[in-house]
């Protein structure tokens, strides 16, 4: 069996293979509620053989959404439609995760395909349009050249407490919905990443200044979530391992942070990067894999590689060379929701065991055409 399609166990969760669907915002919810789009979008990845599917950035409080059309988990009524999705993922043998998020100063931004400036009040209501003033570590906008980003209100002590409580409450609801894992989103220039990075954090209190202080909020969130998240279920954290900016957060910072996160009960780091204005990113195939390896080696923790991946042989090599423990696809999964079943054949499998029984007739087509070992 290839390494990519071998099972892996984190705490009490055994995941059938190392293929992951990374969290991808769909901007298709109203008032945070999952709907049929989310069900169909996510269900196809389970049918396609992925080991773990992680739902999109899900606001732990209403003002923590990137846009008005993000998923949310700030009230109990949002549990049931998510549980429906989780149940289907489980029925296909796929583990279910959800990314818990707060967008901070990057909240209340537009949905690109809805030109709200030209929409009537009725049209705005039909898509659930809302607008609010975001919050952040400091009263500094994400970008001075993009009017989509507002100047946030600086969080005070009470506001920080509300953020932590929001993550805790959302984690409890995620457990009630049946999720196997939660991922704390501390990447891509969103709130927890904003506190980490000196590019966004200009505070002079216990949450700003030194690296230790800038890490404080994420560590407090992690402690609080781990305390309410079942001990048998793994906890993930997504990091921007590098800001890709000389004045920002660096790889060595992420290694130190990941050691702290592991000590607090985090089981794996999802290694992404970037998220701040002024970053210079050379986005080519596999460009973030070195980040996964640096964290894995430096912090002795399982890591997830992500970022323009999709070559089956290359994915196998990432695992066999010890660069990461999981390979995660986002846009690659959108392009081919059946990527795991296809990759497994490419890596030498001649059976169709990963195909759901309803799709197994593919084998008779392959036999007739002399494909996938039928020559």
| Catalytic residue flag (residue 287) | no
Burial of 189 (0-12, 13-18, 19+ CB in 10 A): buried
pLDDT number for residue 285:
86
Reported CATH class of domain 8-337: alpha beta
Which one is catalytic: 27, 129, 190, 207? 190
Burial of 89 (0-12, 13-18, 19+ CB in 10 A): buried
Over the stretch 19-77, which tens digit does the pLDDT of each residue have? 999 999 999 999 999 999 999 999 999 999 999 999 999 999 999 999 999 999 999 99
Are the C-beta atoms of residues 220 and 167 closer than 8 Å to each other? Answer: no
Which residue do the tokens 């607090």 mark? 264
Q: CA 100 to CA 163: how far, in whole Å?
A: 11
Q: How many CA atoms lie within 13 Å of 254's alpha carbon, on the beta-carbon side?
A: 32
- Rounded CA Rg of the chain: 20
Which residue do the tokens 């042989």 mark? 313
Are the C-beta atoms of residues 10 and 52 closer than 8 Å to each other? Answer: no
Among 182, 154, 198, 235, CA closest to 73 = 182
pLDDT number for residue 243:
95
Q: CA 65 to CA 273: how far, in whole Å?
A: 20
Number of Cβ within 10 Å of residue 157's Cβ equals 10
Among 291, 345, 344, 351, CA closest to 318 = 291
Over the stretch 171-192, which tens digit does the pLDDT of each residue have? 999 999 999 999 999 999 999 9
Number of Cβ within 10 Å of residue 12's Cβ equals 11
Alpha helices (H) in the chain, listed in sequence order? 36-47, 79-91, 121-126, 157-177, 191-196, 211-228, 251-263, 289-299, 312-320, 331-335, 339-346, 362-369
Q: CA 10 to CA 181: how far, in whole Å?
A: 10
pLDDT number for residue 154:
97
Number of Cβ within 10 Å of residue 155's Cβ equals 23
Q: CA 202 to CA 214: how far, in whole Å?
A: 10
pLDDT number for residue 375:
65
pTM for the full predicted model: 0.95
C-alpha distances in angstroms, 168 versus 83, 237, 250, 284?
A: 18, 14, 28, 36
**Residue ranges in the chain whose pLDDT is less than 70:** 375
- Which residues are paired to 20 by β-bridges? 52, 328
pLDDT number for residue 111:
92
Q: CA 77 to CA 188: how far, in whole Å?
A: 28
């Amino acid at each position: 069996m290839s390494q990519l399609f071998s099972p892996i166990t984190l705490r009490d969760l055994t995941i059938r293979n190392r293929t992951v669907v990374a969290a991808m915002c769909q901007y298709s919810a109203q008032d945070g509620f999952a709907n049929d789009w989310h069900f169909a979008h996510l269900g196809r990845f389970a049918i396609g053989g992925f080991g773990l599917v992680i739902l999109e950035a899900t606001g732990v409080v209403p003002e923590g959404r990137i846009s008005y059309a993000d998923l949310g988990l700030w009230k109990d009524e949002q549990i049931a439609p998510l549980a429906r999705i989780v149940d289907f993922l489980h029925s296909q043998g796929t583990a279910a995760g959800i990314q818990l998020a707060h967008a901070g100063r990057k909240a209340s931004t537009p949905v690109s395909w809805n030109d709200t400036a030209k929409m009537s009040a009725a049209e705005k209501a039909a898509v659930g349009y809302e607008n609010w003033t975001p919050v952040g570590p400091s009263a500094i906008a994400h970008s001075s050249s993009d009017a989509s980003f507002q100047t946030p209100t600086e969080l005070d002590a009470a506001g920080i407490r509300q953020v932590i409580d929001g993550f805790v409450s959302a984690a409890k609801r995620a457990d009630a919905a049946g999720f196997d894992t939660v991922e704390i989103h501390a990447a891509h220039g969103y709130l927890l990443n904003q506190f980490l990075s000196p590019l966004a954090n200009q505070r002079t209190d216990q949450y700003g200044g030194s690296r230790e202080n800038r890490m404080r909020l994420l560590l407090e969130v992690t402690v609080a979530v781990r305390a309410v998240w079942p001990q048998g279920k793994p906890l993930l954290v997504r990091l921007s391992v590098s800001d890709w900016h000389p004045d920002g957060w660096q790889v060595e910072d992420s290694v130190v942070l990941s050691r702290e996160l592991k000590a607090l009960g985090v089981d794996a780091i999802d290694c992404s990067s970037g998220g701040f204005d002024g970053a210079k990113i050379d986005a080519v195939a596999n460009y973030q894999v070195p980040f996964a390896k640096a964290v894995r080696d430096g912090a002795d923790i399982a890591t997830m590689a992500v970022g323009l991946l999709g070559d089956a042989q290359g994915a196998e090599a990432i695992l066999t060379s010890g660069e990461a423990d999981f390979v995660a696809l986002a846009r690659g999964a959108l392009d081919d929701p059946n990527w795991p079943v296809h990759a497994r054949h490419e890596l030498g499998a001649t059976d169709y065991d990963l195909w759901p029984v309803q799709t197994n007739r593919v084998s008779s087509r392959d036999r007739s055409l002399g494909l996938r070992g039928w020559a």
